[in-house]
Structure formats: structure tokens, C-alpha cells
């Protein structure tokens, strides 16, 4: 488990966790209807910062997105005395589109650098003086929870002593038009799980948590925080894939149910104060979540969703909603689901309609997203001797002091590469053997695969990763002993797909931008928009091969084998995971791409 030392939420509802929590507890919402915003032809409802708030947050030399993150991280760091310059401290950024506004501003000359989320992470890290390489979790809507899981794993494994995790996204013409093209956006306040729900709202926010390998208490007591206060921890977390569709959840809730089962949710149901669901208010997501909650044995646990206060804040959602849920559980409250009146899902779940009291101090945060990803964490309030006791809301903490020695380092299991494939414009190498290089990715597909027409719908990044995985798995298939008792297309949960790159989804971003750049020729394409998330390639591989294990995508400032090794090893600490398809898959443009992936197995 990893312990939470401090936090912050920065949103249109307030600049601190306390301001946000009190507003939500009082039923306030930042959602507003916008007509003609950014020249979009359709109205939408969203939670956006005002012009005055944006001006107050802007910092010299930084973008709006970067300024938002810096402000949130700074307010969280002010509650602690951790050393950000220490090689034992890491910065993890969770985001879906980061500085995509630069592309909207026609700064195309900077696209290969400034448009990358890794570049934004480096700018932010340099403001604070972090000396370690930042890691960007770019895993669609589950990014925030995935970032918490990554931090928990690498802290548990002794790789670092502290992790600063921030989830953030800002809204703009690019993101809103994309969700509108999917017919997923409502022009009125969203209604999670409700019979009359008509779609999601979008929102912008940043949320930060500072995590540590050991628990801490405030260095002095206050009226609201006596010396006996307890600490909060991320006890466990997991990620599972539906292997069903890249933009629609499994009707049977397979991935979400697997994630809940993997964290032992059913066995802990009697201890749970509530389940904080994703609750986007879209028809299929809410239905899927209700089925997963019931199937996982949590039908008797109160369920709430917080999108009615903020909308869907994308990369911030998982962190923001976890922090708010901690604040509520600390005060003994299960927050109301704003917008919900009558259950409109088949799963027999009990959705909160008003704030409720609770004496329990643990909860489940669950989330799902494009690419088939589903994630869940158990968050628990603990006393000095491991007893579960009530706590106060976070976000107003004094400088920290440790209350117990560091827990023993959990050893990272060793790993062994089984097979390896590399694809560049000039070479294809399979387990060290060079092959003929066709003239294009399509030509590679025709020569080496040829039986999966969906390939033609993919963006180039997904095509590249898909082709590398096909060659890799065919190499494994020729040596049955390396693949165990599983066949090529057998359903399995024990294999993960973890990929890295530098350019994120830049090629797809540019292509989608062409569909919305001209107001007189405005045709946002849903089939193009969905591929502007780099993690879609992991979903394509999972869907093709029926993998229900973890799928994750990370964007790094450079190809850093040490960081990649650390994350792959951390992935293998998942009890179910026995092997990982892992490596570098980067596509910047025609003639500028590289895939270098391997099957890595637990020893």
C-alpha cells in the first residue's frame, strides 16, 4: 500500500480541496450551458474555468494547461516538506490531451515537441526542480486511477520514497467536438445512472496527490485535526481490459468485473462505505458499470458518481474523484449523485440521491475508458496500528512527519524476454533475424498478416503496434513452450500490454484537426477522433488476441530503458499477470517510426 500525504483540487468550483469539497457537499455544480463556444455549431454543457480564473492561474512561459498543473501541484507541495529534487521523488502526470490547444493555435512548427504530453511534463517538472524523469500516463479516461496504481506499485517496490501525482486536462474545440462527433455530449446537466440521462458533460480541472512509502501525521494538531488523526492509503489497484471494442464497453462488463474481483471487492463489501463509480451519464457506460457492480457482489454498497458537479474531467477524473471521496469518507459522508432521480440501468445498484452518513472508512474507486480499459482501487483510512478509523478531509495538512519506519521493500520479480520484434522504415527484425521490409505499413500487413481487415481503420500508430504484436505472437506461436498452454487467440487474463512512446498520438491529432479546422467545412470524424488517444493501440492488440489483462500506455520525454524496465517490472507485480507485451511504439509521420517490443515473462 502507498500512503497519501497531501492533496489539492483546482477546478471552477475552487482552488483548494476544501473549497471543492464544501461546494460539492452543498450540492453546487460548475456545469453551465455553452452556445457557440469556440465556434462549435452545437451547444453543450460543461464545467469550464472563467476568463477571470484563467487569467489568475496563468504563469509566464507556461501554457494554460501547464499553469493549471503547476498551481495544483504547488498547493499540494505546500502541505509537505518532501524534497522534490531528491532522486527518490518522482513526478507522474495523468492526462489525455495535455497541450492540444497549441495545435488549435496553429503552432504546427512545434507539434513534434510541444504537443507531446512528455514535453508538458518536463516543463512542469523543471518549475519545481524535479531531478528524475517525469512519467506521463496516457490511458484515456482511466489515466488518473492508472497513475495512482503506478505510484502505489513503484512506491511499494522501493523504487522511490515519494510520488507527486497530478491528473489534469483542459477543454477546447478539439476535445468537445470529438465527443460531440460520438453523439455522447448532453446540452444539459448530466444525470448519472438516471432513467432520463442523455449523455455526458465535459470539464476541466487539475487534482494532485502526494504519496509516500510510509504513513505520516500532521506535525501539530488543530481544532479540526487532533494529534490522533489517521492516514489514508491506496491499498491495492488493478487494470483489466474488455477486449470487446475500442470505444464501447463490454455489455457483460467483463473488464470492469475482472478489475473489481482482482482487488477483492466482493470479500470486502461489508467494510465498504461506498463505490465511487465513473458515472459518465452515457447510456452504455452507466449500464455496464451497474452490471459490473452487481456481478462483483457490491449491489448492497451505496454507489455515487460525481460527474454532475464537474462533468468528465478526463485525465483529472480519477485523481479528483478519489480525493473528494477521501474527504467525504473522512467526514463520515457518502456524497449524493447530483442529477440522479430514478434508476435507469439494469444492474440492481443503490445510487445515492442525497448525502448519507457512514462509519466505514474504505471505498472503491472504479473507472473505465476508450481502448477497453477498466481500473479499480481500494482506498482505506488507517490508524497507527492498522486500525480503520474515521479521518478528517484532506487538503489542509500541515508539514508531515513520519509515524513509523519505512515498510520493507517488496522485491520486484525478475523478468525474462522471450521473443522480440523491431520494425523501422528500413528494417524488420524478429528474434534477431532480419526480414524483407515492404514499402509501407500496409504492405507489411499484406505480406505478413492479411486476415484482419480492421487494420485499415486504424491510425498509423495503432497499425504499427498491431503489426509488431502480430509478428511477435507468431514467433511465440511457433514455439509453444514459450506460450504455455494458451493458444494464439485464447481468452486470457494473465497477459498485459504495456507500451511507451515520445510522440503520443501526434499523427492522429493532425488528421483529426483537418476535420475541424475550417468552419465552412466542419466534419468532425468519430472514427478519427477515437485514435487521438495513444492507448488505443493497446486496446487493438487486446481485442485481436482476447487479452483481458492490463493495458497501459506511457509517454516519456525520451526512450529511457531504466524507466521502462521499472514500469514493466511493476506491472508484473500484479498477482494474475504472468507476461507482458511491452516496449516502444512511436509514430511521428511517414518514414519516421519505430516499434521495438518483446514478450517479457515472470521468472
Check pLDDT > 60 for residue 413.
no
Q: What integer best gives the mean pLDDT of the chain?
A: 90
- The answer to whether residues 101 and 170 touch, using CB atoms and an 8 Å cutoff, is yes
Percent of the chain with pLDDT over 90: 83
pLDDT at position 107 over 70: no
Separation between Cα atoms, residue 13 and residue 24, nearest integer Å: 8
User: In the predicted model, is pLDDT for residue 563 greater than 60?
Assistant: yes
The owner of cell 488493478 is 238
Structure confidence at residue 383 (pLDDT): 66
Can you give the pLDDT at residue 219? 36
Indicate the pairing of strand 162-169 with strand 135-137: unpaired
Which is more confidently placed, 474 or 216?
474
Q: Using 50, 70 and 90 to split pLDDT, how confident is the model at 231?
A: confident
pLDDT tens track for 457-468 = 999 999 999 999
pTM of the shown model: 0.93
416 against 165, higher pLDDT? 165
- Range of 252-266, 437-451, 458-472 with top mean pLDDT: 458-472
Check residues 386 and 493 and name the one with the higher pLDDT: 493
Q: What is the mean pLDDT of residues 566-586?
A: 96
**Is residue 392 predicted with pLDDT exceeding 80?**
no
Using DSSP's 3-state secondary structure scheme, residue 327 falls into: helix
The answer on pLDDT for 485 being more than 80 is: no
Compute CA distances 559 → 555, 582, 589, whole Å. 9, 13, 18
Which pLDDT score, from 0 to 100, does residue 409 have? Answer: 33
Question: What values do phi and psi take at 233, rounded to 5?
Answer: -140, 150
| Mean pLDDT lowest among 360-364, 425-429, 509-513, 519-523 | 519-523
Is the pLDDT at 410 greater than 60, yes or no?
Answer: no
Distance between CA 294 and CA 54 in Å, rounded?
A: 42
Q: Express each pLDDT in 81-95 by its tens digit.
A: 999 999 999 999 999
Per-residue confidence (pLDDT) for residue 113, from 0 to 100: 65
Name every residue whose Cβ is closer than 8 Å to that of residue 455 and which is 6 or more positions away in sequence.
445, 449, 463, 466
CA dihedral defined by 8, 49, 172, 99, rounded to 10 degrees?
-40
pLDDT of the residue at 288: 98
* pLDDT exceeds 80 at position 399: no
CA separation for the pair 394, 324 (Å, rounded): 9
562-569 mean pLDDT: 96
Residue 146 C-alpha cell reads as 492508472
403 pLDDT tier (thresholds 50, 70, 90): very low
Helix, strand, coil share (%) of the chain residues, nearest 5? 35, 25, 40
Instruction: Determine how β-strand 373-382 pairs with β-strand 162-169.
Output: unpaired
User: Could you report how far apart the first and last alpha carbons of the chain are, in Å?
Assistant: 24
- Among the ranges given (108-122, 295-309, 492-506, 543-557), the one the predictor scored with the smallest mean pLDDT: 108-122
CA nearest neighbour of 260 among 220, 287, 290, 233: 290
pLDDT score recorded for residue 480 = 59
Q: Tell me what the mean pLDDT of segment 229-250 comes to.
A: 91
Q: How would you class 472 by CB atoms within 10 Å of its CB: exposed for 0-12, middle for 13-18, buried for 19 or more? A: buried
How many C-beta neighbours within 10 Å does residue 47 have?
24
pLDDT on residue 418: 81
Alpha helices by DSSP H, 304-387: 307-310, 317-330
Residues 6 or more apart whose Cβ sits within 8 Å of residue 350: 299, 300, 301, 302, 303
Mean pLDDT, residues 17-25 taken together = 98
Taking a C-beta distance cutoff of 8 angstroms, is the pair 285, 247 a contact? no
Listed in order, strand segments (DSSP E) in 131-246 are 135-137, 162-169, 202-203, 205-212, 216-218, 231-241
Amino acid at each position: 500500500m502507498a500512503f497519501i500525504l497531501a492533496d489539492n483540487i483546482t477546478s471552477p468550483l475552487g482552488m483548494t480541496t476544501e473549497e471543492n469539497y464544501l461546494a460539492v457537499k452543498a450540492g453546487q455544480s460548475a456545469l453551465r450551458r455553452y452556445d457557440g463556444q469556440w465556434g462549435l455549431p452545437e451547444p453543450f454543457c460543461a464545467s469550464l474555468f472563467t476568463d477571470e480564473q484563467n487569467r489568475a492561474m496563468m504563469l509566464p512561459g507556461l501554457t494554460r494547461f501547464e499553469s493549471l498543473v503547476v498551481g495544483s501541484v504547488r498547493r499540494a507541495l505546500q502541505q509537505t516538506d518532501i524534497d522534490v529534487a531528491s532522486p527518490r521523488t518522482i513526478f507522474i502526470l495523468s492526462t489525455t490531451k495535455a497541450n492540444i490547444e497549441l495545435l488549435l493555435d496553429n503552432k504546427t512548427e512545434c507539434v513534434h515537441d510541444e504537443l507531446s504530453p512528455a514535453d508538458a511534463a518536463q516543463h512542469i517538472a523543471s518549475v519545481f526542480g524535479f531531478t528524475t524523469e517525469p512519467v506521463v500516463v496516457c490511458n484515456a479516461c482511466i489515466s488518473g486511477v492508472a497513475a495512482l496504481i503506478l505510484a502505489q506499485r513503484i512506491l511499494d517496490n522501493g523504487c522511490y520514497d515519494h510520488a507527486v501525482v497530478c491528473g489534469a486536462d483542459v477543454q477546447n474545440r478539439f476535445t468537445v467536438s470529438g465527443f460531440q462527433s460520438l453523439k455522447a455530449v448532453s446540452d444539459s446537466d448530466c444525470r448519472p445512472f438516471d432513467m432520463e440521462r442523455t449523455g455526458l458533460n465535459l470539464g476541466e480541472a487539475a487534482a494532485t496527490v502526494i504519496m509516500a512509502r510510509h504513513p505520516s501525521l500532521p506535525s501539530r494538531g488543530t481544532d479540526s485535526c487532533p494529534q490522533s488523526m489517521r492516514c489514508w492509503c491506496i491499498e491495492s489497484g488493478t487494470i483489466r481490459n474488455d477486449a470487446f471494442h475500442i470505444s464501447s464497453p463490454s455489455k457483460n462488463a467483463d473488464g470492469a468485473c475482472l478489475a473489481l474481483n482482482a482487488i477483492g471487492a466482493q470479500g470486502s463489501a461489508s467494510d465498504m462505505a461506498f463505490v465511487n463509480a465513473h458515472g459518465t451519464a452515457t447510456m452504455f457506460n452507466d449500464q455496464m458499470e451497474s452490471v459490473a457492480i452487481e456481478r462483483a457482489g457490491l449491489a448492497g454498497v451505496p454507489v455515487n458518481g460525481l460527474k454532475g458537479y464537474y462533468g468528465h474531467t478526463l485525465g483529472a477524473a480519477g485523481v479528483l474523484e478519489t480525493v473528494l471521496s477521501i474527504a467525504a469518507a473522512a467526514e463520515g459522508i457518502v456524497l449524493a449523485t447530483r442529477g440522479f432521480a430514478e434508476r435507469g440501468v439494469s444492474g440492481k445498484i443503490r445510487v445515492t440521491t442525497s448525502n448519507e452518513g457512514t462509519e466505514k472508512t474504505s471505498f472503491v474507486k472504479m473507472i473505465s475508458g476508450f481502448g477497453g480499459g477498466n481500473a479499480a482501487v481500494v482506498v482505506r483510512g488507517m490508524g497507527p496500528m492498522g486500525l480503520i478509523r474515521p479521518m478528517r478531509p484532506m487538503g489542509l495538512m500541515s508539514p508531515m512527519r513520519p509515524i513509523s519506519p519505512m515498510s520493507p521493500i517488496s522485491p520486484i520479480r525478475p523478468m525474462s524476454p522471450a521473443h522480440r520484434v523491431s520494425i523501422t522504415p528500413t528494417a524488420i527484425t524478429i528474434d534477431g533475424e532480419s526480414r524483407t521490409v515492404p514499402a509501407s505499413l500496409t504492405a507489411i500487413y499484406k505480406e505478413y498478416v492479411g486476415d484482419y481487415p480492421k487494420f485499415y481503420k486504424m491510425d498509423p500508430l495503432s497499425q504499427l503496434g498491431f503489426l509488431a504484436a502480430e509478428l511477435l505472437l507468431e514467433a511465440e506461436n511457433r514455439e509453444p513452450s514459450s506460450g504455455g498452454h494458451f493458444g494464439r487467440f485464447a481468452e486470457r487474463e494473465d497477459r498485459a500490454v504495456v507500451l511507451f512512446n515520445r510522440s503520443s498520438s501526434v499523427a492522429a491529432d493532425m488528421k483529426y484537426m483537418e476535420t475541424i479546422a475550417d468552419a465552412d467545412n466542419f466534419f468532425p470524424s468519430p472514427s478519427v477522433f477515437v485514435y487521438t488517444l495513444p492507448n488505443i493501440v493497446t486496446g487493438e492488440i487486446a481485442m485481436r488476441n482476447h487479452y483481458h489483462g492490463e493495458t497501459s500506455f506511457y509517454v516519456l520525454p525520451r526512450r529511457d530503458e531504466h524507466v521502462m524496465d521499472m514500469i514493466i517490472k511493476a506491472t508484473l507485480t500484479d498477482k494474475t499477470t504472468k507476461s507482458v507485451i511491452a516496449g516502444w511504439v512511436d509514430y511521428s509521420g511517414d518514414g519516421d517510426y519505430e516499434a521495438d517490443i518483446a514478450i517479457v515473462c515472470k521468472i
